[in-house]
Amino acid sequence: MSRLIVAMVCGLLFGAGMVVSDMINPARVLAFLDVTGAWDPSLAFVMGGALMPSGLAYLIRRRMDAPVAAEAFHVPESRAVDRPLIGGAALFGLGWGLVGLCPGPALAALTTGAWQAFVFVGALVAGMALFRLTLDRA
């Protein structure tokens, strides 16, 4: 039960951060990606601000044997740059650049009731299901 509470608090905190920073607004994200036009650097500040607690968490993790609400840490150990990684990154970047949303902010955007967020999340879920049904078997 404590893991669920911790996960919910973290998710709510992340979602609130996305809403407060207006990163659920695709126009703001697309303006950041428009480096030759009306460039908006606010996303760079949000990403920079996110690096601080993340870096701090990695420093704390080094000094702990296990997390507070789990049996072990789940940190990727592979450092391989392979085709699935490059393909996934390319698909993520393409989707992000086309619509101005990525999965986390899209989930937070559902709170606005915007139909675009629902279409994006629906496509996201369909893509994950398609992966489970096909590519995951390989």
Look at residue 138 and tell me whether its pLDDT is greater than 60: no
Q: What pLDDT is stored for residue 136 in this prediction?
A: 59
Q: What pLDDT is stored for residue 68 in this prediction?
A: 80
Tokens 């150990």 map to which residue?
A: 77
- The more confidently predicted of residues 90 and 75 is 90
Nearest to 28 by CA among 91, 94, 92, 109: 109
Tokens 């990606």 map to which residue?
A: 33
Write the pLDDT tens digit of every residue in 76-117: 888 899 998 999 899 888 888 888 888 889 999 999 898 999
Chain mean position to CA 60: 22
Look at residue 125 and tell me whether its pLDDT is greater than 90: yes
Nearest to 108 by CA among 8, 17, 9, 4: 17
Q: What pLDDT is stored for residue 122 in this prediction?
A: 95
pTM value is: 0.76
- The more confidently predicted of residues 15 and 75 is 15
Residue 55 phi, psi (nearest 5): -60, -40
- Give dist(CA 51, CA 108) in Å, integer: 20
Q: What is the mean pLDDT of residues 57-86?
A: 87
Q: What pLDDT is stored for residue 35 in this prediction?
A: 87
How big is the chain by its Cα radius of gyration, in Å? Answer: 17
Q: What pLDDT is stored for residue 1 in this prediction?
A: 63
Q: What pLDDT is stored for residue 132 in this prediction?
A: 87
- Give dist(CA 8, CA 91) in Å, integer: 28
% the chain with pLDDT above 70: 97
Q: Are 108 and 18 in contact (CB under 8 A)?
A: yes
Q: What pLDDT is stored for residue 59 in this prediction?
A: 92
HSE-up (13 A, CA, CB side) for residue 6? 7
**How high does pLDDT run on average in the chain?**
88
